[in-house]
Amino acid sequence: MPETSAGTLTTPEKPAKQKPGGTLYRGHEGMWSWVLHRITGVAIFFFLLVHILDTALVRVSPEAYNAVIGAYQTPIMGLGEVALVGAIVFHAFNGLRIILVDFWAWATRHQKVLFWVVIALWVVTMLAFTPRHLINVFSH
Amino acid sequence: MTAIEFPGEPRRRGSNLEKWGWIYMRASGVVLLVLIFGHLFMNLMVGDGIQAIDFGFVGGKWADPFWQWWDVLMLWLALIHGANGMRTLVNDYTNPGTVQKVLKGALFAAAAVLIILGTLVVFTFEPCPAGAPADLLPSFCAA
Ligand code: HEM
Ligand code: HEM
């Protein structure tokens, strides 16, 4: 976009490129970690609402509980569980990063590096979890 | 003297409640990490994982007060943490007014009801209900 100068004032240099408002997080690791933290938090919350209700069926009858838990043991839900665990592992590790950044000056200065540490830990954890879970899901 | 406000600081509404909320999110987060990872490890990674879960599995776990308290603590911390986090989203995406009040009321009600329900479920659980087929029950019911 051409920057049309209205005239009068001579700005010494080109003004430091104006970023859109509330710029602290926009467009970089900080924003993505924030968006992901939010989305995963909401997803886990809604899962938890359902999960407490399905667990409550143990008070109804063994048959009722087993029927619902059977639904969690299908291949499609098995894949869903990988997504759920992926969301939790990210939210947990990134939550830890947020806490460190808030309380520890070193982490505040290195929060970008720490974001990639979170991603690396996520990958390692998911590599340990996913094959084992999928073998359980698909070998029955 | 009025305190200097940081631009990103949440609006002070009289008391310091928001600050305690902020601290709670962090304190509960650290504990939840341990509780939830332990929960997922026990239920998904050990043995046959998800395929081993049924009524008998739950009966076996809740026969031990350790796992009862583990689950109850996880229940309370996670629901309050989650509902408080959702409240932040409601504050961010709605304007003050009726809709906002209703949404916050719904969050509070959902968390309260599920905390009570979940706590009752853990502590009133009956592992050997009379008349249920024995093969669905934990092995210790046979006697
Ligand atoms: C696919 C993953 C999951 C499976 C298969 C699963 C399975 C179970 C099972 C079998 C129980 C009964 C008691 C026990 O085993 O301790 C239970 C209870 C519970 N789970 Fe999970 N769970 C999963 C994920 C989660 C997550 C992510 C959370 C937390 C956000 C969670 C929170 C709870 C709570 C709070 C209880 C106690 C419920 C009550 O008090 O009535 N679970 N879960
Ligand atoms: C596994 C361990 C967990 C850790 C370490 C953790 C940590 C955190 C932290 C540090 C925050 C940021 C609060 C702030 O910015 O003031 C947060 C926000 C949030 N958490 Fe968690 N949390 C965990 C589990 C959960 C669970 C189980 C749920 C759902 C029941 C959840 C839902 C949320 C939500 C909805 C938010 C608000 C997100 C936002 O404001 O953008 N978290 N969490």
Locus of tokens 């900080």? A30
Note the pLDDT tens digit of each residue in A66-100. Answer: 999 999 999 999 999 999 999 999 999 999 999 99
Answer yes or no: are the C-beta atoms of A112 and B90 closer than 8 Å.
no
pLDDT exceeds cutoff 80 at A29: no
Predicted pLDDT of residue B41: 97
**Boundaries of domain holding A59:** 28-138
Cβ of B69: how many Cβ atoms within 10 Å? 12
Predicted pLDDT of residue A3: 47
Of the ligands numbered here, which is closest to the C-alpha atom of A31?
A: 2
Average pLDDT over chain A, rounded to whole?
A: 86
Does residue A3 fall inside a structural domain?
A: no
Q: How many domains does chain A fold into?
A: 1
Mean pLDDT of the region B14-20 = 81
User: Does A84 contact ligand 2 (Cβ within 6 A)?
Assistant: no
Query: Rounded to a whole number, what is the distance in Å from the CA of B98 to chain A's nearest CA?
Result: 22
Confidence of residue B9 (pLDDT cuts 50, 70, 90): low
pLDDT exceeds cutoff 90 at B83: yes
Predicted pLDDT of residue B5: 58
State whether CATH 1.20.1300.10 applies to domain B20-136: yes
Does residue A22 fall inside a structural domain?
A: no
Average pLDDT over chain B, rounded to whole?
A: 90
Confidence of residue B16 (pLDDT cuts 50, 70, 90): confident
Does residue A18 fall inside a structural domain?
A: no
Answer yes or no: are the C-beta atoms of B61 and A21 closer than 8 Å.
no
Note the pLDDT tens digit of each residue in B28-77. Answer: 999 999 999 999 999 999 989 999 999 999 999 999 999 999 999 999 99
Q: What are φ and ψ of residue B141, in 5° steps? A: -75, -30
Which amino acid is located at A95 in the chain?
G
**Which of residues 78 through 117 in chain B touch A, CB cutoff 8 A?**
78-79, 82-83, 85-86, 89, 110, 114, 117
Predicted pLDDT of residue A1: 44
Predicted pLDDT of residue B1: 46
Predicted pLDDT of residue B14: 59
Q: Give nearest CA residue, ligand 1 atom 19.
A: B71
Helix (H, G, I), strand (E, B) or coil at A53: helix
Does residue A4 fall inside a structural domain?
A: no
Mark yes or no for CB contact A72/B53 under 8 Å: yes
Predicted pLDDT of residue A18: 54
Q: Which two tokens stand for residue B81?
A: 């943490």
Q: Which CATH number covers residue A77?
A: 1.20.1300.10
Locus of tokens 């409550």? A56
How far is the centre of ligand 2, averaged over its atoms, from the C-alpha of B124 (Å)? 30
In this predicted complex, what is the ipTM? 0.86
Where residue B125 falls (left for φ over 0; alpha for ψ -120 to 50; beta otherwise) is beta
Radius of gyration in angstroms for the set of CA atoms belonging to chain B, rounded to a whole number: 21
Task: Name the residue ranges covered by the structural domains of chain B.
Answer: 20-136
Confidence of residue A28 (pLDDT cuts 50, 70, 90): confident
Q: What sign results for the dihedral spanned by CA atoms B43, B64, A61, A48?
A: negative
Predicted pLDDT of residue B121: 97
pTM of the predicted model, to two decimals? 0.87
